Amino acid sequence: MALIFYDFVAYLTTDMIQPGIIHVVREFNAGVSLAPASVRLYMEDGIALQWLLRAMSDQIGLIFPML
């Protein structure tokens, strides 16, 4: 259930962030080409977090195999 909730929240936040990127670009007077780069960095952070959580869950599973 926790993984399903995490995936739901990850996709939901991506869908919420994408429409707001244009407003952030306008607010900070940045180039429009930075919008896709910011979404890419956000998604890469999510991948890195999943990679870290996988390693932690493997370690916890080895310590507490009956949970």
| pTM for the predicted model, two decimal places | 0.52
| pLDDT score of 66 | 54
Number of C-alpha atoms within 13 angstroms, CB side, residue 40? 5
Asked whether the beta carbons of 22 and 35 are under 8 A apart, the reply is yes
| pLDDT score of 17 | 77
Closest C-alpha to 24, from 37, 11, 10: 37
Q: Which residues of the chain have pLDDT under 50?
A: none
